Amino acid sequence: MDLDLSSVEPFRAEVRAWLREHVPAAPLPSLEIEEGFAAHRAWERELHEARLSVVSWPEEYGGRNATPLEWLVFEEEYYAAGAPGRVSQNGINLLAPTLFQHGTPEQLARVLPSMASGEVIWAQAWSEPGAGSDLASLRATATRTDGGWLLNGQKTWSSRAAFADWGFGPFRSDPEAERHRGLTYLMFPLDAEGITRRPIGRIDGKPAFAELFFDDVFVPDRDVIGEPGSGWKVAMSTTGNERGLTLRSPGRFLAAADRLLELWREHGDPADTAMRERVADAWIKARAYRLKGFETISRTEDVGAESSVNKIFWSELDVALHETALDLLGPDGELGGEWLEGYVFSLAGPIYAGTNEIQRNVIAERVLGLPKAGSR
């Protein structure tokens, strides 16, 4: 691993200068409400006009062919500048990498430009009432019909689905096949005839999710990702990105750890050694994750099941960072503000992208080679 960052300093300087000039002086409204969703969509458009919305993508789709190292640097600068959260993250960080790996040239040309500009915001529609972390148990169906598929069933806890434009996820297309087979991965417009969406409020009441009901929703063949019946394989490439660096880059935690340090300097009691150690521990872990990020992008092979280690690390670090900040602020922290907003969001981290309990099983079985849970 070569940690010489001199080659990317010009890019860092360019990004830093643009962000200094364009990041809104006041935080945008929460992207979990309609007004905030629209404001964040406009921010995506502004990023796109500067060719900064998807820096690692090829230029033909709105990117600038940035290297993985340049992408990490962009992320560091983005979060350090206090820039708004990315309402397009489901599309940019989850669906796009899946399309690059499994999509057709037509799908790439049709889907990616509008994703990069924020014109189309994507919702991840995976979980079902009986299938969350156990994705292979899903029961929503895709049935073959002339020119496409008919979707029926229900999805729930669908991120961004309350206000998003399109969704993506796996459906059971062969009920006679084994659990991990017979799934097909599809994209669908959320305003299609036959779809009903009902917003789900999180703990603070904001509709960060929605449940979706499908009643003979027609999806043409061109919106199938990968081969029909290969949905599990396609879904696993999505989860690799969701659990790894793509969704939760080190820059996000570096910026939060630096803000926590400032908070300690403003509100901390030097005699409170326990609190001081919590702040130091979070700051050190954020930097350790940064080094892990450099190590990850220096690899030539797929990270594979090791992405589960990343997922547990960043999700637990996120909760610890925000809990420590709220404890520093005391009762005032519960009145609102970015730390409370971030804390509420962080609580979902150990659950989404596959619960941390499931990830520990993945690490035990696929990384460490230990016996399967429940076996003798």
242 is catalytic: yes
Residue 209 phi/psi, 5° resolution?
A: -135, 175
Residue type at position 29 = P
Q: Which two tokens stand for residue 164?
A: 């998003």
For 212, half-sphere exposure in the C-beta direction (CA atoms, 13 angstrom radius) is 35
Please tell me the total number of residues recorded for the chain in this structure: 376
Distance in angstroms (rounded) separating the CA atoms of residues 61 and 12: 22
Out of 32, 44, 242, 341, pick the active-site residue.
242
Q: Hey, how many other C-beta atoms are within 10 angstroms of the C-beta on 278?
A: 20
Distance in angstroms (rounded) separating the CA atoms of residues 351 and 17: 37
Angle of helix 307-329 relative to helix 231-243, nearest 10 degrees, comes to: 40
| Distance, CA of 224 to chain centre | 21
Q: What would you report as the CA-atom Rg of the chain, rounded to the nearest whole angstrom?
A: 21
Q: Hey, how many other C-beta atoms are within 10 angstroms of the C-beta on 262?
A: 9
Distance in angstroms (rounded) separating the CA atoms of residues 163 and 38: 9
Q: Which residues belong to the active site?
A: 242
